[in-house]
Amino acid sequence: MDLSNRIILIGMPGSGKTTLGKELSEWMNLPFFDLDDLIESKEEKTIQQIFGQEGEDAFREMEASTLEGFCNSHNKFVLAAGGGTPCYYNNLELMNANAKTIYLDVSAEALFERMNKTAVEKRPLFKNENVLDKIKSLIESRRPFYEKAKHRLMSDSISVEDISGILKEESHRK
């Protein structure tokens, strides 16, 4: 399968998957999708409602099936995964088989800074938690999954140029 027009961004909540994904899609002239939005449209509920009414396990099932359906029905895309997507079911293997995966590796402190600016209530995993501690423990447990992405950018100021740079470099190596 030609993966050159199939990009998936993974990383912690607040790492910039949506923001950079949109910019990258314009840059590469590819359609942009956000897995959280796809789940919300399919279920006709917000992520908070799904977590609140059906629980996280049900959400993870919906996430895995939406991802699989998406990969099977789209040829060209930039997809922003959900923060936890790589860590459940065979999502990571599926993403690596179907796209170029890029891990946006942003420090806990920078994520915390950004998270303060966005509504914590929109992020069910952080509700009633010490946010910085929760970010750190999530990074600890998720890093083994995130690190299996094909590419990784480690910085608190990742730009779309950085992403296109690693993609270009890879195409030159071939």
Site residues (vs Mg ion, CB under 5 A):
17-18
Asked whether residue 60 is marked as a ligand-binding residue, the answer is yes
Parallel/antiparallel/unpaired status of strands 100-105 and 32-34:
unpaired
CB of 2 to ligand ATP, least distance (A): 26
Residue linked to tokens 């796809």: 38
- Binding-residue pattern over the window 3 to 42 for ligand SKM, x denoting contact by CB under 6 A: ----------x----------------------x------
Question: In angstroms, what is the C-alpha Rg of the chain?
Answer: 15
CA–chain centroid gap for 80, Å, is 5
- Which of ligand SKM, Mg ion, ligand ATP, none does residue 78 bind to, with CB < 5 to 8 Å depending on kind? none
Which lies closer to ligand SKM via its Cβ, residue 2 or residue 44?
44
Q: How many residues bind ligand SKM (CB under 6 A)?
A: 9
47 binds ligand SKM (CB under 6 A): yes
Complete edge-to-edge strand list for the sheet that includes strand 151-154: 32-34, 77-80, 6-10, 100-105, 151-154
The first and second tokens of residue 67, run together, are 């991802």
108 binds ligand ATP (CB under 6 A): no
Neighbours of 98 (CB within 10 A): 20
Helix (H, G, I), strand (E, B) or coil at 84: coil
The first and second tokens of residue 60, run together, are 């993870």
CB of 156 to ligand SKM, least distance (A): 18
Write out the H or E segment, with its range, that includes residue 57.
helix 56-73
Asked whether residue 69 is marked as a ligand-binding residue, the answer is no
13 binds ligand ATP (CB under 6 A): yes
Interaction site with ligand ATP (CB under 6 A): 11, 13-20, 36, 80, 83, 114, 117-118, 157-158
